[in-house]
Structure 1
Amino acid sequence: MNNNPRIAIVDPNTLAVLGLTHLLESVMPVMHIDSFGSFAELEANHPEQYFHYFVDVRVVLANMPFFQQMRHKTIVLASSAADNTAPLSSFHTICTSLPPKQLLRSILMLEQHAHAHGRNLPSLPPVETNISAPLSPREIEVLSLIVKGFINKEIADQLNLSLPTIISHRKNLMSKLGMRSVSALTIYAVMHGYVGVDEI
């Protein structure tokens, strides 16, 4: 049995569940994530065991008595800002129709503020890292600028380095961290304190 704290995603949209699961596993790797297509499925699986519920807005509205009691643990998944109606004003809400970078920022902000960089999570054994060698100070500088949205040429200009050198640093970073996307680098940089969530 997995003893990690558990998160429940309750959403009938399978594609949305898959995407959110991937993001949450990246942002909160110590969590175990279960998904349910309906409130009835959640209710049948000991809902009290979950540290958080990420729940489609329609499911919350249809089952308000339960989620109102659990509002401090519930994050409403709204498809637009208009979904944040008066009955939901006391809930944390994430708008799922945001552009990818803004959605990632919303989830990172939620994790950083709610969990105080992980300090509010239950204590667990340290998560093993797959990084073979620590990042050099120059790699950290390049990483920070990448996740802040600068392109290679701008990074080269800022650091007074050649464009091929920046491209080489970028390849080395991706290889060393085993990451293939700027989103993955962003999560890594924020979670390791190299950039603040308000800088991305």
Structure 2
Amino acid sequence: MHRNKQIAIILPDTLQSLGLYSLLNEYFPPVEVNLFPSFDVFCAGGNDLFDYYFVQPETFTFNTDFFLPRRSKTIILTDGIEEMRCQQSLNHLMTKASQETIIEQLQQYLVTDTPNTSSGDNNKELSSRETDVLQLIAYGITNKEIADKLNISLNTVLTHRKNITAKLGIKTVSGLTFYAIMNGIVSGEEF
């Protein structure tokens, strides 16, 4: 017997929650959607029987211990291009898109039942040294300090940064930091 998909919407924005709730119930029945205004309220319920979690990037970042093991079931609501690039290894829903586009994105996750499976190790394409450099960039360490810490030349650090930027398609330090947090390279709690 087919069971209804259990969906948790963990958003402080009431209008966004109700809009998503309405779209899910109208276009993807039968689903059981539960609304939570915060992660704390969600945790107070004490149940982890959801098939999908819809959250803001901040909620994901501040609760990586919970969401990283469930990242294939987590859909992050984004509204910016930079955020989308940072989350290539995560399921995301563009909230400022047209209703038609949002429904298509939802269908990709809910109907086809193929959540992003490449999320396991998107940073696999980075070498271990590039991952070390990315980690230090996320902590706000300067290029010179990175060179000193890793016992490599400044030119080597610059080359690693160039390669990281090329591989990930992310040019800003904030974008790289966000990527590092989302992919478990650094912990969001450390910031």
**How would you bin the TM-score normalised by the shorter chain?**
0.5 to 0.7
Displacement of 1:104 in angstroms is 1.9
Q: Which residue of 2 aligns with 1:34?
A: 34
- TM-score after normalising by structure 2: 0.54
Whole-Å separation in 1 of the counterparts to 2:64 and 2:10: 14
More relative contact order, 1 or 2 (CA 8 Å, 6+ apart) = 2
Determine whether 1:55 maps to 2:29.
no
Displacement of 1:81 in angstroms is 2.4
Whole-Å separation in 1 of the counterparts to 2:62 and 2:85: 14
Determine whether 1:97 maps to 2:96.
yes
Secondary structure (helix, strand or coil) at the match of 1:114 reads coil
Contact map agreement 1:7 1:53 (CA 8 A) in 2 = yes
Whole-Å separation in 2 of the counterparts to 1:51 and 1:110: 11
Q: Which residue of 2 aligns with 1:160?
A: none
After superposition, what is the alpha-carbon deviation per residue over 1:114-139, rounded to whole angstroms, capped at 9, x for unaligned? 269xxxxxxxxxxxxxxxxxxxxxxx
Displacement of 1:85 in angstroms is 5.4
Structure 2: state its 5+ residue gaps.
116-191
Instruction: Map 1:105-144 to 2 at 5 A.
Output: 105-114=104-113
Structure 1 residue identity aligned to 2:99: P
After superposition, what is the alpha-carbon deviation per residue over 1:4-53, rounded to whole angstroms, capped at 9, x for unaligned? 44210011110000100011112321211001111111111124111110
Contact map agreement 1:81 1:95 (CA 8 A) in 2 = no
Q: Which residue of 2 aligns with 1:151?
A: none
Give the RMSD, CA atoms, in angstroms.
2.1
Displacement of 1:111 in angstroms is 2.4
Whole-Å separation in 2 of the counterparts to 1:64 and 1:4: 27
Identity of aligned residues (%): 27
Cα distance, 1:38–1:51 mapped onto 2, change above 3 Å: same
Whole-Å separation in 2 of the counterparts to 1:38 and 1:70: 18
Structure 1: state its 5+ residue gaps.
117-200
Contact map agreement 1:27 1:111 (CA 8 A) in 2 = no
After superposition, what is the alpha-carbon deviation per residue over 1:141-166, rounded to whole angstroms, capped at 9, x for unaligned? xxxxxxxxxxxxxxxxxxxxxxxxxx
Secondary structure (helix, strand or coil) at the match of 1:49 reads coil
Q: How many residue pairs are counted as aligned between the two chains? A: 113
- TM-score after normalising by structure 1: 0.51
